[in-house]
A and B are shown apart, each in its own frame.
Chain A
């Protein structure tokens, strides 16, 4: 009897597993075609001198591409630009998103309007937003300088100065992206049970204390999620400098992904671009692992 039952449950298990795999199949197939396979190809190309114009005489050159990266000034500059962008954008965008979420969480008149308004940049194409901001940043005719001139601040070369261009792109990126994280924070805020605030009230906590000791801890998991997703998205910076500054002036806004794109498609050096992409993947992977470590320590 027991024997029979086991057999029965085994086939049932097998059948359930099979069903599971069938459900997984579409995702797995798509992931394989559009992610795993290209990654494999990229890894392979990174050891070759694949030049687009001569696809047939591609040869294996070992680690030459990777050696080339070491003394590639352009790569170094792009790397540090990307790090700078990420290090500034992540905290600023999180703070702005949280601030907006707190605002639109208040029971104010017209808050639906504000939620929509703050979210709207997210649904707009990044290309369009970049073009619009390019106009707004224009020193002589742009909206922002016009406003600054009212309060007596001279024209700022937002996108044409090597010192300001990246910061201008950061400001625009925060504006564009924060709405999305605002929505997630908002969901998080609404999940914090009211009784915690009531208890804090009874204990005589001030608004600030409530924020610090109830709201912030209540948002911990969501914050970690947002932290990780913004970081990875920030590393992938591409569209804004491509449209707004072409990586200039003096390469001050050239990001890693942009540099890889340029080498691969404009200079047609797919082998070298693949090697840089491999290095980039490893960098992002390390950052993600560190973040996960920090996250689990915090939880534990």
Chain B
């Protein structure tokens, strides 16, 4: 949904021509690369288009007789540059491995369910590829159903050490590691430097100095005028995954959780006092009128909001809009926590070549892929070594994001009931913008999570 909101009118005109199926293609042509690889686009909402195969990637087939292993590999299509980068890396893999050939299929990801529809269809037909990209927080549901297999026996200790904790956490279910991603996601507090200078407000420059909730709200109130909001929380992205991705740290920082540690129940967690207090804090921001529940597309970039709690792609759009912007850490209550997660790779249980499949996974998430992807997309890398090698993260503003990813990032809960849990969270989170009794809303939403959890109880 996020993407749909981001579309400009010319895009819409094109859309009219291509009807529903072509949304992603249009988006790609738009070159909005950096929003695309991110969490917000995946599974955030229910889409309208069917899965469309964009055809095979041009992977320089070298039909020598030596290639005895053929791997099927599914990746999701996002921004043009990002997809091209994947194809480049796959080509390089094929060149480097004479005995393995990778057949890549690039599957439309319309920011809604097109990609997962393809996976669902292949699952039922028993035609899953050897390796596929999946949305990080969905690791648990695939692992629980034995769709993907553990990579514990394949991954080297060095690699395990080098991935940031949140990526390992995201890929782990029931004590075993299943997925690896090359890209991380994060949300930080962007601010309009001109406005801050005018008002003479000092900003924290590292996660240790992060504002607490009260300071955050005070500044937001101070910066709210008749003409502008103090804060943009991107409510225009809709009720979906972005809310869980970007909002869950409010609950965690307050000592709460979305679900019990053992995943058995959400009752007393998602509707527990810590969680509800966090939701009520968000509500207080709306009550104070510092944030809008229907911000315009470019509210922050156009100076109509002084701060924006958003993903790395905001840096790019702010840059494009010639905004004098800076970055602060995610606000904190007790424990410093920040959002995490992105697309990851998993190898399926029906792969006949697990060793080669892992080799491909490892290649797509190795240092070179990780750094290159971070370069192309503007997203943070998933490896500590990549952070060390990239100068951009050495100093402000990006050092803030590096600190967040390496120190405070926390993955969303690993539960097979995640699809329902994330919808429930988003529904309560969104209710914070309405005049609602949040405890009551949370109780109602917990009911449906409990229903879903019964399926996995045995």
Q: Is A268 an interface residue (CB 8 A)?
A: yes
Interface contact A131-B120, CB-CB below 8 Å: no
Contact with A along B22-65 (1 / 0, CB 8 A): 01000000000000000000010111100000000000000000
Interface contact B419-A266, CB-CB below 8 Å: yes
Q: How far is the CB of B429 from chain A (nearest CB, A)?
A: 11
Interface contact A128-B15, CB-CB below 8 Å: yes
Q: Is A173 an interface residue (CB 8 A)?
A: no
Interface contact B434-A161, CB-CB below 8 Å: yes
Known: A124-B16, A128-B16. A250 touches B427 (CB 8 A): yes
Interface contact A246-B12, CB-CB below 8 Å: no
Interface contact B113-A266, CB-CB below 8 Å: yes
Interface contact A52-B120, CB-CB below 8 Å: yes
Chain B, Cβ-Cβ closest to A163: B434
Interface contact B145-A246, CB-CB below 8 Å: no
Task: Give chain A interface residues in 143-174, CB to chain B under 8 Å.
Answer: 157, 159-162
| Chain A residues touching B, majority SS | loop
Task: Give chain A interface residues in 247-292, CB to chain B under 8 Å.
Answer: 247-251, 258, 261-262, 265-269
B295: A residues at CB distance < 8 A: 140
Contact with B along A159-198 (1 / 0, CB 8 A): 1111000000000000000000000000000000000000
B142: A residues at CB distance < 8 A: 53
Contact with A along B8-25 (1 / 0, CB 8 A): 000010011001100100
Interface contact A266-B48, CB-CB below 8 Å: no
**In whole angstroms, how far apart are the Cα atoms of A262 and B112 in the complex?**
11
Q: Is B154 an interface residue (CB 8 A)?
A: no
Q: Is A139 an interface residue (CB 8 A)?
A: yes
Known: A53-B141, A128-B15, A246-B240. A268 touches B419 (CB 8 A): yes
Q: Is A132 an interface residue (CB 8 A)?
A: yes
A247: B residues at CB distance < 8 A: 239
Known: A131-B7, A160-B433. A51 touches B120 (CB 8 A): no
Interface contact A134-B5, CB-CB below 8 Å: yes
Q: Is B96 an interface residue (CB 8 A)?
A: no
Q: A51-B455, A132-B12, A245-B238 are in contact. List 9 more A-B contacts (CB 8 A).
A: A51-B145, A52-B120, A53-B142, A127-B48, A128-B15, A245-B239, A246-B240, A247-B239, A250-B430
Chain B interface (Cβ < 8 Å from any Cβ of A) = 1, 4-5, 7, 12, 15-16, 19-20, 23, 43, 45-48, 113, 116-117, 120, 123-124, 126, 141-142, 144-147, 235, 238-240, 292-296, 419-420, 423, 427, 430-431, 433-434, 436, 441, 444, 447-448, 451-452, 455
